[in-house]
Amino acid sequence: MTRVIELVDNRVLGAVRFVDAILNLPVRDAVVITGIGPAADIRFWRNQSGLYVIASAPGLENHTAAFMAPPSTPAVGSLNFALTVEDRRGYYLSRQFAIRLPRNINPTAPDSIFLPIDVRLFPSPIAQVGSRWAVIRASVQRGGQGVGGALVRVERVSPAGVLGRGMTDERGEALIGIEGIPVTLWGDEETDEVVTFQVEARVQVMFDPAATGLPNPDSLETRSPSASQNVQLASGRIQTITLTIP
């Protein structure tokens, strides 16, 4: 008996990595990706590292068979595909995201095919929180109703900088956890007093009233805040606030 071995090689188009928005660590559990419009024909496979490898995509059929020199057309990043991701356990909120293909073959480029496309996943309000996190449970309302699909961003007042982000569920509830705030500080040398460390921050809501379907928090990031409120953050402190959109 003669055994015939057929070797089939395919060039992949990139990979997507889902990252916990609070811990900034890869999400290891499986999620479901669905393409919107032309992206419905994108094919992924999940590898052992938890990356969702892009095996094929519309308009890039010739790229999957080109190894040494991929085709020059379409241009790098010229194809924009919209997709959604869903965690059926309910630990993370469903969201929309976009990827641009083809990726750059330059290994040092920020959009290199050798680097995964990171997509933040926002924990739902039922997610567990760390004992030393500064936690904000925000309720976003408009006209007496909860607002789903809003981005809630927490910014440090001084020095300025983003400390954390969250997203509201269909009830308008969001969970934002912030790591790294010191538990205590020592006072001056004379009193040797131990004081609680607090950070002054501003909670902002970005919302698009014209948006339909699942939200894309990356696009909401560029919008002006619809509402805001100042808070004092401290390690281990849980605060519940309500933000009302006019």
Q: Are 129 and 23 in contact (CB under 8 A)?
A: no
Q: Which CATH architecture has domain 134-244?
A: Sandwich (2.60)
Q: Phi, psi (5° rounding) for residue 64?
A: -70, -15
Q: What is the pTM of this model?
A: 0.88
Model pLDDT, residue 7? 45
The predicted pLDDT at position 180 comes to 87
Whether 131 contacts 141, CB under 8 Å: no
Q: What is the pLDDT of residue 72?
A: 86
Residue ranges per domain, the chain? 15-121, 134-244
Task: Give the pLDDT of residue 197.
Answer: 84
Cα 227 off chain centre by: 21
**pLDDT tens by residue, the chain, 246 residues:** 566 555 455 689 999 999 999 999 999 999 999 999 999 999 999 999 999 999 999 999 998 877 667 888 999 999 999 999 999 999 999 999 999 999 999 999 999 999 999 999 999 999 999 999 999 999 999 999 999 999 999 999 999 999 999 999 999 999 999 998 887 655 555 555 555 689 999 999 999 999 989 999 999 999 999 999 999 999 999 999 999 999
Give pLDDT, residue 5: 54
What does 34-49 look like in DSSP terms, one character per residue?
EEEGGGGG-EEEE-TT
**What is the reported pLDDT for 11?**
81
Q: What is the pLDDT of residue 202?
A: 98
